[in-house]
Amino acid sequence: MKHTISVIVENRPGVLSRVSGLFSRRGFNIESLAVGVTEDPNFSRMTIVVEGDEQDLEQITKQLYKLIDTLKIFDLPAEKSIASELVLIKVAANDKTRPEITQIVEIFHARIVDVAEGSVTIELTGETAKVEGAIKLLTKFGIKELVRTGKIALLRDSVA
Amino acid sequence: MTGAQALLEALKIEGVETIFGYPGGVVLPLYDTLFFDKRIKHVLVRHEQGAAHAADSYARATGKVGVCLATSGPGATNLVTGIANAFMDSIPMVAITGQVATPLLGRDSFQEADITGITLPITKHNYLVKKVEDLPRIIKEAFHIARSGRPGPVLIDIPKDIFTNQLEFKYPDKVDIPSYKPKYDGHPKQIAMAVKAIAAAKKPVIYAGGGVILSGASKELFELAEKCRIPVTTTLMGKGAFPETHELSLGMLGMHGTVYANYAVTECDLLIAIGARFDDRVTGHIARFAPNAKILHLDIDPAEIGKNVRVNIPIVGDVRRILKVLVEKVDKKDQHAQWLDQVAEWKSKYPLAYRAEGGIKPQAVIELINELTRDRETIITTEVGQNQMWAAQFYKATKPRSFITSGGLGTMGFGLPAAIGAQFGRPTALVIDIAGDGSIQMNIQELTTAVNNRLPIKIIVLDNCFLGMVRQWQELIYDKHYSHTQLCNNPDLVKVAEAYGAVGIRVTSPDEVRPALEKALSINDRPVLLDIVVAKEENVFPFVPPGQAINEMIID
């Protein structure tokens, strides 16, 4: 099962390698990881998607807390959080396929950020399922390059 | 003042009296400062690994933070085994390494090694000092982190220019790390549940680990055991946490544990784990470990709860504080006489035993050491392997911090530098390193350190011309294929001892053992090495073969 956790850490050099090193040496797989500074510049927030059962999640959380630089960890279950990721997709395109691609872009509320002779580059944000749906539809045109930020998420205040 | 002066000043404020180290290029400015500042005793070792083990053992013997010091690159990497050793056994230690000057960092400079990167998984925390103004705060934090919560080693990597840069020295009074606040008091609700479980138990057993010693909880453990009449087994790290001469003591459990400890744990209905971490050498086949028991787990580290076994009642906090409350609150009417009778029966039926005939028996040597040192403040250090297990089985530790051994990492070569560290920490104690002919050579160079400091440590080499424990496994599991475990071309250890300026004595027959030990004990101005030629193919029993449950022992 996939879990999304949010880890607040001291914003210091080396913290990322402490966290990622912990995952690899304890045998946990990181599906995605996104890091950036929080509202307080002394701290960074890491949003980590990790595969494992409940027990794994408990052990990951406890081990992360042991790192001196870890301030707080939140589990972000899908129903209680708002999650999004950003993806840039460079799709092969020609005069024939461009209209169909444009249509898909509109349906997904994405946007085209670059157009060239043989390709268009699409910027898309949204939940993982939406991103993957778009990628699936675009695959047939030929995806030349793709980059994803990994998921970022926050707890919803509206759900107790 | 300079960074180097600030470092020494800070160490002084932290109460450091002795450090173990070895000089080198980038730490020259620090050694120059040490040349003039005699307030801290620097013990010159002969290999940085020796410094790390000595500092580690100094901490184990005294309860204070041990400090070791090395230069950059190879000096720092030579500390690595010692740091890992301290990490696995949760020993408070501060390792200080020199680093190439800040402008040279990351350029593969001469003797540059990324020691903070290398030690990431084997330190509780580590620091690379980039500005001299940060030095006082970092040292303060390092000592705080090393000794608080679950203790562990902290490394501080200091570039050469930091030692010479000037700062206005002001040592912080307080540590403020918002992300590090260990929890010391057990939750009252959990404690109440524990009280109930203890009262209801018909077959309780206490399983005490190194955490009892680290938190200084021996007295409270003793009170709990006596008040509730609960038998106590200890791990290797817990030896000495409970007097092994006491009627409630079951000795050590696990792979080479006593039959009665392993039976009691397998049969018990309540297992009270205190400052222990359910290591595989303790549990054997994990699914069949204490299968009928409710598990009550007291530990300062929340990550230990449920890591290896399911726990029914966890209590997170300092085990001494928890035990204090527990002892006060428990009221055990049922003193489970039947269970104690059962345990007593196992004890008398399956005592630790060995066959007396057939040359010098290593077990007999340990028993004799036990007899001859009973009335003295004694610290046993060990190497790793059969020597360690015989020592653990036959030496009856009665006090905490009296049995110092490499538990988690299992580091051969630990015992001799550990004896040195322990002797510096407790100058009046009688310090004995129980060694094998394999491990003693892994840090034999530290004999120089012992001789130069006139340390009267005793090194008892149980010499069987084998890498004994590995040979034992080869005998029992690999059809006696003694692949690369015969050490018969060892040097003459008596001559080696003499070459270093120590006393060397060879013992070849059983009747020479006692006089040789007595002679060794009477020498007070230098180390003595006894090369005791023991039965070559003696095995450590009981033995739980790997993968078996702990009640499935080979007894002989």
Task: For B355-411, write each residue's pLDDT tens digit.
Answer: 999 999 999 999 999 999 999 999 999 999 999 999 999 999 999 999 999 999 999
Burial A52-82 (b: 16+ CB within 10 A, else e): beeebbbbbbbbbbbbbbbbebbebeeeebe
Q: Are residues B50 and B154 in the same domain?
A: yes
Chain segment B48-72, per-residue pLDDT in tens: 999 999 999 999 999 999 999 999 9
Interface test with A, best of B116, B180, B181, B307 (most A CBs within 10 A): B180
Annotated catalytic residue B552: no
Burial annotation B532-555 (CB, 10 A radius, 16+ → b, else e): bbbbeebbbbbbbeeeebbbebee
Backbone phi and psi for residue B352, each to the nearest 5 degrees, phi listed first:
-60, 130
Asked if residue B549 belongs to a domain, the reply is no
Question: How near does any CA of chain B get to the CA of A91, in Å?
Answer: 39
- For residues B373 and B287, state if they share a domain: no
C-beta atoms of A68 and B177 within 8 A: yes
Contacts of A25 in chain B (CB under 8 A): 121
Please, which residues bridge with residue B482 across strands? none
Residue B224 lies in a domain: yes
Contacts of B145 in chain A (CB under 8 A): 68
DSSP state of B186: P
Are B401 and B213 a contacting pair, CB within 8 Å? yes
Q: Do B150 and B194 share a domain, yes or no?
A: no
Q: How far apart are CA B179 and CA B59, in angstroms?
A: 26
ipTM of the complex: 0.88
* Chain A nearest CA to B545, separation (Å): 26
The per-residue pLDDT for range B228-270, each reduced to its tens digit, is 999 999 999 999 999 999 999 999 999 999 999 999 999 999 9
CB atoms within 10 A of CB B371: 12
If asked whether residues B216 and B317 sit together in one domain, one would say yes
What is residue A6's three-state secondary structure?
Answer: strand
**Are B324 and B378 contained in the same domain?**
no
CB A50 within 8 A of CB A3: yes
Asked if the structure places residue B356 within a domain, the reply is no
- Does residue B550 belong to any structural domain of this protein? no
* B435 and B307 housed in the same domain: no
B160 is catalytic: yes
Element (H, E) at B521: helix B510-522
Domains of chain A: 2-75 (3.30.70.260), 82-155 (3.30.70.1150)
A26 touches chain B (CB under 8 A): no
Residues of A within 8 A of B120 (CB-CB) are 17-18, 21
What pLDDT digit, counting tens, does each position of B492-519 carry?
999 999 999 999 999 999 999 999 999 9
**Calculated CA dihedral for residues B66, B70, B72, B75, nearest 10 degrees:** -110
Return phi, psi of residue A67, to 5°.
Answer: -65, 130
- B266 and B159 co-located in one domain: no
Catalytic, out of B5, B20, B99, B160: B160
- Chain A nearest-CA distance from B197, in A, is 25
Contacts of B125 in chain A (CB under 8 A): 68
> What is the per-residue pLDDT for B488?
87
Task: State what percent of residues in chain B have pLDDT above 90.
Answer: 98
Instruction: Check which CATH number belongs to the domain holding B224 and give it.
Output: 3.40.50.1220
Q: Which residue from B minimizes the CA distance to A15? A: B120
Residue B470 resides in a domain: yes
- Would you say B295 and B271 are in contact if contact means Cβ atoms under 8 Å apart? yes
C-alpha to C-alpha distances, A109 to A104, A122, A123, B388, nearest whole angstrom: 9, 11, 9, 69
Distance from CA of A147 to the nearest CA of B (A): 29
Select which of B93, B255, B442, B469 is catalytic.
B469
Task: Choose among A137, A118, A121: nearest CA to A129.
Answer: A137
pLDDT (average), residues B76-89:
98
pLDDT (0 to 100) of residue B334: 81
CA distances for B373 relative to A100, B380, B400, B504, angstroms: 90, 10, 16, 20
Do B303 and A55 lie within an 8 Å CB cutoff?
A: no
Average pLDDT, chain B: 97
Is residue B469 among the annotated active site residues? yes
Q: End of a domain among B349, B382, B399?
A: B349
Task: Cis check for the bond before B510: say yes or no (omega within 30 of 0).
Answer: no
Chain B hits for A69, CB-CB cut-off 8 Å, are: 179
- Residue B89 above 70 pLDDT? yes
Paired sense of beta strands A152-155 and A81-92, if any: antiparallel
- The reported pLDDT for the residue numbered A158 is 87
> Sign (positive/negative) of CA torsion B505, B506, B512, B514?
positive
Structure-block tokens of residue B146: 């090393």
Final residue of a structural domain among B349, B375, B396: B349
Is the same domain home to B342 and B369? no
For residue B94, CA distances in Å to B83, B125, B265 come to 9, 10, 37
Q: Which chain A residues touch B307 with a CB distance below 8 Å?
A: 59
What is the pLDDT at residue A160?
Answer: 60
- On whether residue B507 sits in a domain, the answer given is yes
The dihedral formed by the CA atoms of B488, B494, B496 and B497, expressed in degrees to the nearest 10: 140
Residue B245 and residue B139 share a domain: no
Is there a contact between B302 and A25 if contact means CB atoms under 8 Å apart?
no
Mutation for testing the B interface, residue in A12, A66, A69, A70 having most B CBs under 10 Å:
A66
Of residues B216, B194, B84, the one with CA closest to residue B147: B216
Tell me the pairing of strands B403-404 and B378-382: parallel
Q: Is residue B371 part of a domain?
A: yes
Tell me whether residue B222 is in a domain.
Answer: yes
Token output for A59: 């052990």
Q: Count up the domains in chain B and report the number.
A: 3
Write out pLDDT tens, residues A60-117.
999 999 999 999 999 999 899 999 999 999 999 999 999 999 999 999 999 999 999 9
CA distance A5 to chain B (A): 17
Q: DSSP label at B526?
A: S
Known catalytic residue at B332: no
| Least Cα separation, residue A41 to chain B (angstroms) | 14
Quick check: B72 and B25 in contact, CB under 8 A? yes
Domain boundary residue among B164, B196, B220?
Answer: B164
Instruction: Please tell me whether residue B467 adopts helix, strand or coil conformation.
Output: coil
On whether both B378 and B258 belong to a single domain, the answer is: no
Same domain for B334 and B243, yes or no, is: yes
Residue of A59, A68, A71 with shortest CB distance to B307: A59
Residue of B nearest to A8 (CA): B179
pLDDT band (50, 70, 90) for residue A152 = very high
Q: How many CB atoms lie under 10 A from the CB of residue B177?
A: 14
Whether A10 sits inside 8 A of B179 (CB atoms) is yes
Catalytic site includes residue B1: no
pLDDT of residue B456: 98
Domain co-membership, B345 together with B438: no
Domain extent, residue B292, equals 188-349
**Is residue A81 within 8 Å of A154, Cβ to Cβ?**
yes
